[in-house]
Amino acid sequence: MRVFSVLLCVIAAAACNKATTETEAAATRTVIVEEAAFVPNNVVVRQGGIVRFTFQGTAHSVIFTEQPGRPENIEPPVANTTEERVFLAEGTYSYTCAEHRSTMNGTVTVERFTPAGGP
């Protein structure tokens, strides 16, 4: 019985760790745009993935650094809404809030996606 309990705890811990990580490439990630922060401020999506920016009550914008493959900025500042952006090209895309450049920054890392059974 003791071995079974230990095994169950190990499996549960592994499942929790996998569910809370933001470093695994996923099809969709959500970034909460709070009063003074992007939470989480660094996410990883697979190629073709979506990042949902969910804006709370304070108006903010999301301005991506100029580079090939970046999605459209979210401006003018918005509040109480959700905006989605699709990331088609691999790479790391930095962004900031135009109104709070010194404190609100983040990145989206896009990793190659090969469907199961693909090359």
Listed by start position, the domains of the chain span: 23-111
From 78, 40, 48, select the one nearest 62 (Cα to Cα): 78
pLDDT digits (tens, 9 = 90+) for 47-67: 999 999 999 999 999 999 999
pLDDT above 60: residue 17: no
3-state secondary structure of 70: coil
This prediction has a pTM of: 0.77
Peptide bond into 119 cis (omega under 30): no
Superfamily of 23-111 according to CATH: Cupredoxins -  blue copper proteins (2.60.40.420)
